[in-house]
Chain A
Amino acid sequence: MTVASRQGGEAEQAQVPLSALEHYTYCPRQCGLILLEDSFADDAATVRGTLLHQRVDTPGNRGRGTVRTLHALPVWHDGHGLTGICDTVELHADGTVLPVEHKSGRYHPGGPADVQVAAQAMCLEYMFKQPVTTAAIYSGTDRRRHIVTVNEALRTRVLDATNAVRNLLSHNHTLPPPVADSRCRRCSMATDCMPKLLAGTHRYQQALHDLYLLDDTQDIDE
Chain B
Amino acid sequence: MTTELLNTLYVQTQGTDLRLEQDTLRIHLPDTPGRRTLPLRRLDGIVVYGHINLSTELITRCAQDKRPVTWMSRGGRYLARLDGAARSNVLLRHAQHQRHDDTGARLGIARNLVAGKIRNSRWILLRAARDAAPARREHARKAAEDLAAAIDKLSAAESIDVVMGIEGQAARNYFAALPHILSTATDLPPFTHRNRRPPTDPVNAALSFTYGLLRSLVHGALEQVGLDPYLGFLHGLRPGKPALALDLMEEFRPVLADRFVLTQFNRRQLRASHFDHLSGGAVSLTEDGRKELIGAWQEWKTQTWEHPIAGREVPAGLLPVVQARILARHLRGELPGYLPWTAS
| Chain A interface residues toward B at CB < 8 A | 36-39, 41-44, 47, 173-175, 191-192, 194, 196-198, 201, 203-205, 207-208, 211-212, 214, 216, 219-220
Contact = CB atoms under 8 A, between A and B. Distances in A.
Nearest to A201: B336
A184 to B, nearest CB: 14
Interface in B111-146: 112, 115-116, 119, 122-123, 126, 129-130
A126 to B, nearest CB: 31
B336 A204 contact: yes
Given A174-B333, A205-B336, A191 B325 contact: yes
B256 to A, nearest CB: 19
Contact of B309 (A192, A204, A212): A204
B130 A198 contact: no
Interface string B142-185: 00000010011011000000000000000000000000000000
B89 A204 contact: no
A204 B339 contact: yes
B333 A216 contact: no
Contacts, number: 83
A192 B1 contact: no
Contacts of B103: none
Contacts of A203: 309
A37 to B, nearest CB: 5
Interface in B189-247: 225-226
Interface of B: 1-4, 87-89, 91-92, 112, 115-116, 119, 122-123, 126, 129-130, 148, 151-152, 154-155, 225-226, 308-311, 325-326, 329, 332-337, 339-340, 342
B311 to A, nearest CB: 7
Contact of A198 (B87, B152, B329): B329
Contact of B115 (A41, A174, A201, A212): A212
27 contacts: A36-B91, A38-B88, A39-B87, A39-B89, A41-B1, A41-B3, A44-B2, A173-B91, A174-B332, A175-B334, A194-B326, A197-B329, A198-B335, A201-B335, A205-B336, A207-B308, A207-B339, A208-B112, A208-B337, A211-B112, A211-B115, A212-B155, A214-B122, A214-B148, A214-B151, A219-B123, A220-B129
Given A37-B89, A42-B3, A43-B1, A212 B151 contact: yes
B126 A220 contact: yes
Contact of B326 (A37, A41, A174, A197): A197
A17 B85 CA distance: 20
Contacts of A37: 89, 91-92, 226
A105 to B, nearest CB: 16
Contacts of A194: 310, 325-326, 329
Contacts of A192: 225, 325
Nearest to A173: B91
A49 to B, nearest CB: 13
A219 to B, nearest CB: 5
Contacts of B342: 211
Contact of A191 (B4, B92, B151, B226): B4
A210 B325 CA distance: 21
A38 B87 contact: yes
A192 B151 CA distance: 31
A204 B308 CA distance: 10
Nearest to A222: B344
A163 to B, nearest CB: 21
B342 to A, nearest CB: 8
A211 B119 contact: yes
Given A39-B87, A42-B2, A44-B2, 10 more contacts: A37-B92, A191-B4, A201-B335, A204-B339, A208-B112, A211-B340, A214-B119, A219-B122, A220-B129, A220-B130
Contacts of A175: 332, 334
A171 B1 CA distance: 33
B253 to A, nearest CB: 17
B45 to A, nearest CB: 16
Contacts of B308: 207
Contacts of A173: 91
